[in-house]
Chain A
Amino acid sequence: MNSKSLYQEVILDHNKKPRNYGTLDKASHHAVGHNPLCGDHLDIALNLEGELIDRIAFHGESCAICKASASMMTTVVKGKTREDAETLIKEFRDMATGALNLDAEHHLGRLTVFAGVRDLPTRVKCAILPWHTLHAALNSVTTTSTEAEDDPMHAAIGDA
């Protein structure tokens, strides 16, 4: 385990200067994600033009891992289709929980800087929360929680 390796320059930079931080005037989809274990919350708004995520923004209170994950997520999914976003959500979640073979083909690119969380069970939820919330927004679930049992992604996240 090397917890320090998680705090790489790119993550620290996105934490300090989060991209797409704020709110949208016009949003077709919106969700708020909570992690009741630490009180963190994240608000994600996006606008779909047809199947394309044309704009996306987030804001909230969270740790550096969560904020950087949200920031990088918005830069990656912006301009992608809903289906591509869902693929990334699944791959990111699998990476964070250690279920993804990083040597096999995937679409995560520089998001692999978060691969280290798989060795930090208590921090997995921090990294996943933005993706979890994006999934909820895309499926028109307005509030979600890392502990919500009826949440479609709960089973995959499990107890950290």
Chain B
Amino acid sequence: MKIIDSTLRPQFTSTFDVERIRAEFPILKLRIDDKPLVYLDNAASSQMPQPVIDRLVRYQTSQHANINRGVHYLSETATAEYEESRRKLQRFINAREDREVIFTSGTTDSINLVMHGYGRKFIGSGDEIILTTLEHHSNIVPWQMLAEEKGATIRVVPINDAGELLVDEYESLFTDRTKFVGVLHVSNALGTINPVKQMIAFAHARGVPVLVDGAQAAPHMNVDVQDLDCDFYAFSGHKMCGPTGIGILYGKAELLERMQPFKGGGDMILSVTFERTTYNSIPHKFEAGTPPIAPAVGLGAAVDYLSGIGMDAIAAYELQLLNYATEQMRDLPDVRIIGTAAAKTAVLSFEVKGVHPHDIGTLLNHEGVAVRTGHHCVQPVMLRLKVPATTRASFAFYNTMSEVDAFIAGIRTVQKIFT
């Protein structure tokens, strides 16, 4: 058995103080089966630091009421905090205006909003929608529903064996019937970072709008929607240290204004009679009913927290984690990494010869290591790469090099049990 020599770990010259950061995440102190928790399921959902927990408590204990309607102190306070959070998210993704930031329940909800609000209005019979093999089911199924309803066609960008999009093939899929492109920024299963800026420029040269699914990018890198020039950008709060039940749809104002509402109800209207309803302006047109106010305020605190550390610092540290984990994993016999793109976030999907992912997941759990197993909601990727399922370790900025060691040691234990 290989002895892990801690002096071989990368030495940090940066000031990234991971121990100080970890101290702010109460859940990381948990022990599982009497082993320290090693949480490597961040692509599914991240953990919440104390400042975000405190913000939720402060909101609930001193600021909560319904928004946009009351004249009383609490309603005005809650409204102000909710809108302040919108501006925080606007700055976080560098949107031009705060009304381009719509609160949704998450990435899935954001994509469905675009499908109903834009797709059902502007995509018709015989039109074509371009998606990629790497898409999460949440950016496939809504478009299939639309294609079926309208008689439109979905065309799919293929990938190579490393899990990278074939950009030439993407460009050759365009026809004069192409009406929409949906592409994920970062693959949840493989970690591939897609060249979305280049893909958007190509689509725009043909007058085609692009939706970017940023669920796995926004938590891990600096996202600038003006620089990308994307038409829509969707992401979730709970993957970036925020609460569940909250997400964002960024959309260019001129597109959002032309779109039809997705959900009908209170707050999204200016006036209602049984003869005619006048819709509210954006973003309110898309926020029917009482929104998830507390989660929205919590997400505002989460992006403050992330910005305090710095997205570039987070990306640089996570890249070091990925490189170290990849190196360690390459030294393991009978282990194959699935997804070897040149540009990756800190996601490691892998197979262990002769051991089913579910058995790996259960046995790693016994070592305190939390990973995800299965098809990761990307069955087309699994089919293309000819793997029924994988085990996935996904890292965050609060993971450490010694946690990588614990994870690698856990895989060695699994292999020993199965020999």
Q: Which residues of B contact A65 (CB under 8 A)?
A: 358-359, 362
Given contacts A39-B375, A64-B356, A65-B359, contact A3 B365 (CB under 8 A): yes
Question: Which residues in B have their C-beta under 8 angstroms from that of A37?
Answer: 374
Closest to B32 in A: A1
Most buried by B among A4, A12, A61: A4
* Interface residue ranges of B359-392 to A (CB < 8 Å): 359, 362-363, 365-366, 373-375, 382, 388-389
On chain A, the residues within 8 Å of B388 by CB distance are 38-40, 61
Complex contact B389–A38 (CB within 8 A) = yes
Q: How far apart are the CA atoms of A12 and B416 in the complex, in Å?
A: 11
Q: Is B16 engaged at the interface, CB distance under 8 Å to the other chain?
A: no
How many residues on chain B are close to A (CB under 8 Å)?
18
Seen from chain B, the residues whose Cβ lies within 8 Å of a Cβ on chain A are: 33, 355-359, 362-363, 365-366, 373-375, 382, 388-389, 417-418
B389 touching A39, Cβ below 8 Å: yes
Given contacts A2-B33, A38-B373, A63-B356, contact A120 B362 (CB under 8 A): yes
The proximity string for A residues 112-132 relative to B, scoring 1 for CB distances below 8 Å and 0 otherwise, is: 000000001011001000000
Any B CB within 8 A of the CB of A133: no
What A residues does B359 contact at CB under 8 A? Answer: 7, 63-65
Given A62-B356, A64-B356 in contact, is the A4-B363 Cβ separation under 8 Å?
yes
Distance in angstroms between the alpha carbons of A61 and B359 in the assembled complex: 13
Query: Which partner residue on chain B sits nearest A126 by CB separation?
Result: B358
A108 CB–B CB distance under 8 Å: no
A62 closest partner in B (C-beta): B356
The DSSP consensus for interface residues of chain A is: mixed
In A63-104, the 8 Å CB interface with B consists of 63-65
Q: Which of B359, B363, B418 has the most CB of A within 10 A?
A: B359
Closest to A61 in B: B388
User: Roughly how many angstroms separate A37 CA and B375 CA in the complex, as a whole number?
Assistant: 8
The docked-state distance in angstroms from the alpha carbon of A2 to that of B368 is 11
Please indicate the chain B residues that have their CB under 8 angstroms from the CB of A120 in the complex: 362
**CB–CB B362/A123 < 8 A:** yes
Contact of A3 with B358 at beta-carbon distance under 8 Å, contacts A38-B389, A61-B388 already known: no
What is the minimal beta-carbon distance from A33 to any residue of chain B, in angstroms? Answer: 15
Query: Looking across the interface, which residue of chain A has its beta carbon closest to that of B414?
Result: A7
Instruction: For the complex of A and B, list the 3 residue pairs with the smallest distance between their C-beta atoms, beginning with the closest.
Output: A63-B356, A63-B358, A3-B366
Nearest-Cβ distance from residue A104 to partner chain B, whole angstroms: 28
Partner of A38, one of B33, B355, B358, B365: B358
Given contacts A3-B365, A38-B375, 11 further A-B contacts (CB under 8 A): A2-B33, A2-B366, A4-B363, A6-B362, A7-B363, A7-B417, A12-B417, A38-B373, A38-B374, A40-B388, A65-B362
Q: State whether B363 touches A3 (Cβ < 8 A).
A: yes
Partner of B362, one of A3, A39, A61, A62: A3
* From A3, A37, A40, A126, residue with most partner B Cβ within 10 Å: A3
Residues of B within 8 A of A38 (CB): 357-358, 373-375, 388-389
Q: Bound state CA distance, A12 and B359, in angstroms? A: 11
A123 to B363, CA, bound (A): 12
Q: How far is the CB of B274 from chain A (nearest CB, A)?
A: 40
Chain B residues in 8 Å Cβ range of A3: 33, 362-363, 365-366
22 contacts between A and B (CB under 8 A): A2-B366, A3-B362, A3-B365, A3-B366, A4-B366, A6-B362, A7-B359, A7-B362, A7-B363, A7-B417, A37-B374, A38-B373, A38-B388, A39-B375, A39-B382, A39-B388, A62-B356, A63-B356, A63-B357, A63-B359, A65-B358, A122-B358
